[in-house]
C-alpha cells in the first residue's frame, strides 16, 4: 500500500499558519465571536456563569447549579470569585497555541460563553475546537451551533485539513452536540488525562477537509430552522 507525498500546495499551507491561531471578529446572525479581552469580558462572563441569578436581555435566569450546567467536565470551575475566574481565563490567553473567543449574544450585546481554537499544530494542518462553555441563558439556543459553524468555516478557509472536537467520555451532552453538528466519532482514548483529581477518558471527534462541504450544508440547514 503506497502513501504518496501530499501535493505541494497542501504542504505549502503549513508555512502560512502561525502557532498562535488568528482570532478575528466573526459575526453571525445570533452571536458574534470577539477575541477575549479580560478588561471587557471577564466580569460579564463570570456574572453569567457563577451560579447566581442574573438578567440578560430583559430575561431573568434564576440561581442554578454552575457545576452541573457548565463546569463539571471543564478543567476549571466553578469559580467563587472574579479573581479566580480571571486567572483561569488568563491561562487561555497565555497559551501559545490557542485563540480564545468570547461569544457575545447579538440582541443582548452581552457575553454568554467562550469557545477556543486550541492544540494548534500548523505542521500537520490540524487544530481543535475546545474549552467550550455557555451560560444557562445560551443553552438550548443556536449559540453553540452558530459559534461552531463560524469557527469551522474560518479554520477551513485558513487551510487546515483536520478539525478536532474532544470531550470527557462521560459528557453525553457534548458528544451529542458533536454528532449533531457533523463531527465523526473516532473512539475513546482511555486514561487520557487526570482532571480535577479524577480520571478522564476522552472521546475524539473530527471533521476532515474533504468532509467540510457536506457538513457546511448540514450546519447551514440546521441554522435555518426556526427556534
Segment 133-168, tens digit of pLDDT: 999 999 889 999 999 999 999 999 999 999 999 999
Instruction: Count other Cβ atoms within 10 Å, centred on residue 72.
Output: 16
Is residue 226 over pLDDT 90? no
b/e string for 104-133 if b means 16 or more Cβ within 10 A? bbeeeebbbbbbbbbbbbbeebbbbbbbbb
Q: Could you give the CA distance from residue 72 to residue 80 in angstroms, rounded to a whole number?
A: 15
CA distances from 218 to 1, 13, 138, 225 (A): 34, 27, 21, 11
What domain range is 72 assigned to?
A: 19-224
Burial class of 90 by CB neighbour count within 10 A (0 to 12, 13 to 18, 19+): middle
Residue 12 located in a structural domain = no
Residue matched to cell numbers 453571525: 28
pLDDT of 65 over the 80 cut:
yes
User: Do 118 and 97 meet the contact criterion of CB atoms below 8 Å apart?
Assistant: yes
The answer to whether residue 4 sits within a structural domain is no
* Residue 50 in domain: yes
Determine what percent of the chain is predicted with pLDDT higher than 70: 100
What domain count does the chain have? 1
- Cell numbers that stand for 220 in this block: 447551514
Give the pLDDT mean for 6-27. Answer: 96
Q: What is the pLDDT of residue 13?
A: 97
Kindly tell me if the per-residue pLDDT of 100 is higher than 90: yes
| pLDDT the model gives residue 59 | 86
Q: Which CATH number is 151's domain given?
A: 3.40.630.30
Tell me whether residue 180 is in a domain: yes
- Over residues 198-214, the pLDDT tens digits come to 999 999 999 999 999 99
11 in any annotated domain = no
Among the listed residues 183, 129, 151, the one whose alpha carbon sits nearest the alpha carbon of residue 31: 151
Return the pLDDT at 64. Answer: 97
* 197 part of a folded domain: yes
What digits encode the pLDDT tens for the residues 115-137? Answer: 999 999 999 999 999 999 999 99
Predicted pLDDT at 67:
98
- pLDDT range class, residue 58, cuts 50, 70, 90: confident
10 within domain boundaries? no
> Confidence band (pLDDT; 50, 70, 90) for 57?
confident
* Distance, CA of 130 to CA of 218 (rounded, Å): 21
Mean pLDDT, all residues of the chain: 96
**Region 47-66 average pLDDT:** 94
Residue 166: is it exposed, middle or buried by C-beta count within 10 angstroms (0-12/13-18/19+)? buried
User: Does the pLDDT of residue 227 top 80, yes or no?
Assistant: no
Query: Mean pLDDT throughout 32-39?
Result: 98
Angstrom distance (rounded) from CA 107 to CA 213 = 29
Q: Is 133 part of any domain? A: yes
In this prediction, residue 5 carries a pLDDT of: 97
**What percent of the chain is predicted at pLDDT more than 90?**
95
The confidence band for 15, taking pLDDT boundaries of 50, 70 and 90, is very high
Amino acid at each position: 500500500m503506497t502513501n504518496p507525498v501530499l501535493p505541494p500546495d497542501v504542504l505549502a499551507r503549513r508555512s502560512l499558519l502561525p502557532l498562535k491561531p488568528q482570532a478575528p471578529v466573526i459575526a453571525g446572525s445570533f452571536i458574534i465571536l470577539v477575541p477575549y479581552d479580560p478588561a471587557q469580558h471577564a466580569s460579564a462572563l463570570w456574572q453569567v456563569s457563577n451560579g447566581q441569578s442574573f438578567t440578560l436581555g430583559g430575561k431573568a435566569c434564576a440561581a442554578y447549579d454552575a457545576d452541573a450546567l457548565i463546569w463539571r467536565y471543564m478543567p476549571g470551575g466553578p469559580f467563587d470569585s472574579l479573581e479566580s475566574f480571571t486567572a483561569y481565563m488568563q491561562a487561555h490567553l497565555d497559551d501559545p497555541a490557542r485563540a480564545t473567543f468570547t461569544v457575545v449574544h447579538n440582541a443582548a450585546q452581552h457575553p454568554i460563553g467562550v469557545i477556543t481554537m486550541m492544540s494548534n499544530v500548523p505542521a500537520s494542518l490540524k487544530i481543535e475546537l475546545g474549552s467550550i462553555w455557555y451560560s444557562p441563558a445560551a443553552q438550548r439556543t443556536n449559540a453553540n451551533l452558530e459559534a461552531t459553524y463560524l469557527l469551522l468555516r474560518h479554520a477551513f478557509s485558513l487551510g487546515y485539513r483536520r478539525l478536532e472536537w474532544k470531550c470527557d467520555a462521560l459528557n453525553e451532552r457534548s458528544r451529542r452536540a458533536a454528532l449533531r453538528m457533523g463531527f465523526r466519532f473516532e473512539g475513546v482514548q482511555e486514561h487520557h488525562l487526570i482532571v480535577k483529581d479524577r480520571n478522564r477518558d476522552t472521546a475524539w471527534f473530527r471533521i476532515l477537509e474533504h468532509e467540510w462541504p457536506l457538513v457546511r450544508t448540514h450546519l447551514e440547514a440546521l441554522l435555518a430552522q426556526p427556534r
